[in-house]
Structure 1
Amino acid sequence: MKQLLSNLLKNRDVHQSEIDFYSNKEGLDSDSFIEYLRLRGLDIIRRDDTYHLGIFKTTIKNQLFCIVDIESNGPDPQKHSIIEIGAIKYQNGKIIDKFSSLVHSNVVPKMVNEVTGIGIDDLLDAPSLNKVLNEFRLFLGDAVFVAHSAKWDYKFLSHSFENCNLEHMFNHKLCTLNLARRYIEAPKHGLRTLNEVLNIDVNHHRAYDDAYSAMKVLEYCFDKIDCEQTTDLLISNRLASKIES
């Protein structure tokens, strides 16, 4: 499986025979195996008897992005848990779909309550983490995962999937914090500051609102680049150079 993923991520065409080999190892037919990989976040496209990842062929304009934010009851995914997930599917300058859910928890530290406004009473009747993650997985699909400080959100969600015995994510990820540092002139590039700079009116530190803020940051940055370029150039940070101060 690692060799298959390596070939796909290096923009190498994978032939049907290779798909057949790995699908047999997983005990699946080839079509079911491809759907299994897509469900885990790989945007696999078939052309005749070969397969490749969509990001190498799809323009930024036409790419499907999923902008995500999570709130948690602490910073360590091995000790703490998610208490809210918000996400927005975005393509061609439009919101395609929305996702928002609180997550059941018996623990909300005072500091988290003060920052987010989320309290124990809000979470006692909320759906379980396993249920929310399963629904979020289906919502995310094989879209590009986008977040402000994407590495942290992606890592926390990956640990949460693992803790719930769910499959690891393979989605490509894109960080709006890194994009903002390249394309937005601001004293700082946290969402609170960018909300002020870009006049984004949201309730900061709630998951859906922060996902919306990150989407507006993404939109602003897209106005600064040629969105007819392919998505892999955006993800690998090979677009225009950083704004000179």
Structure 2
Amino acid sequence: MLSQTPRLVLCGASNLTLGLALAVDIFRARHGRPVDVLAASGLGRSYGVESRVLTRALPGIERCGLWDALSDRPPTHALVTDLGNDLAYGTEAKVVAAWLERTLERLGATGARGSVGGLPLASLRSIGKFEFQFWKMALFPSRPIEREKLLGEAEELEGRARELASRMGWSFVASDPTWYGRDPIHHARSRRERAWRALLAPLGGELDAPLRPSARSGRLEYAEVRRLGLRMGRPQPCAKLADGTTFSLY
């Protein structure tokens, strides 16, 4: 029964999408039980507005089906991360902070507590003007991003996120520059486990528990998504591990 398993809510963008299976394996290992996973994630995902990557469009996290699902399955643990993605699309720090505050309020109303992941400030500061321009063109080619403005907004958002986490009873996990390689905003593949262990540490359990990967049945498909302008989706949970862990993707 879903009501008898620990629940884990994960909100984020690219890093969460790339590390979702690993994050769940870490949480499962630490708690020694199957998990009911509810994830709002996606490449380029926004907390507040619709995001589009190639032919795929997803609603903002605060407008997705996660919240209706939580009315039936209140979470016990949550991680909110990848906050800086919206800044690259031109959203001001104060607006992203307002979205974050509403996210934490809505999770808190269901009894959830957990951690907020910080921005990769040190990693961003470490790259020069020409390298910044290279990554801008590689990751956000259509966005007129200015390095100094982005850094200023990122520093402001980091401060606001720290304050919100403290005021609302959440842990804040600062980003570690050793999690990143040449790419200044995505966890390096070889360092993802280190990053996710740190981000999930405030959620408790046996911190050094070894991972026990489990075979997955079903595909990770969204409850609601638009592809080539066509609205589609599938019922959740959409996938299951051999140990009984379920995945719902919003």
TM-score category of the 2 structures, normalised to the smaller one: under 0.3
If the length of structure 1 is used for normalisation, what is the TM-score? 0.24
* Structure number with higher relative contact order (C-alpha < 8 Å, ≥ 6 residues apart): 2
Higher Cα Rg: structure 1 or 2? 1
If the length of structure 2 is used for normalisation, what is the TM-score? 0.24
